[in-house]
Homo-oligomer: A and B are copies of this chain.
Amino acid sequence: MPEVWSAPVRFVECDQQGVAFNAHYLVWADEAVNAWWAARGLPWQALVERGVEYFVKASSLDWVSSARYGETVAVDVGPAAVGRTSLTLEFTVRVGDRTCCTVRTTYVATVDGRPTPWPDDVRALLSAG
């Protein structure tokens, strides 16, 4: 899985326990998925212009270590499953070689709020990995 996004942990992202608060991992995964689409020549805005939005349907996070202020998190992304209207991506959030959290998120394509099949060219692109 290629690295698609990276950023220093922000001071505001760390809580009184001295570690990055759990919710921020979903923010980082969101930036990573946007970068992942863009790297495929299909930025989020281009989908919206075609009337297709995608929403997060489900997400699971498993932490094995913490990220702290002063460290830089990197996110590797790869497809885990491509469905008719859905897409599941796996994200590895890490500090150097140390994994902090594995995130698996399932997105659903929608038109006017209803699930819709991915357009053919998008599906071809997703299946290519």
Residues of A within 8 A of B (CB): 7-8, 10-12, 14-19, 21-27, 30-31, 34, 43-45, 53, 55-63, 66, 69-70
Contacts and interface: CB of A to CB of B under 8 A. Distances in A.
Contacts of A24: 23
* Copy count, this protein chain: 4
A12 B23 contact: yes
A15 B19 CA distance: 10
Given A11-B15, A30-B11, A63 B55 contact: yes
* From A17, A23, A27, residue with most partner B Cβ within 10 Å: A23
Contact of A15 (B14, B45, B60): B14
A61 B62 contact: no
A17 B55 contact: yes
A27 B12 contact: yes
A30 B22 contact: yes
Contacts of A53: 17
A44 to B, nearest CB: 8
23 contacts: A11-B16, A11-B34, A11-B44, A12-B27, A14-B15, A14-B16, A15-B15, A15-B16, A16-B16, A16-B69, A17-B53, A19-B55, A21-B30, A22-B30, A22-B59, A23-B26, A26-B26, A43-B70, A57-B63, A58-B60, A58-B61, A58-B63, A59-B60
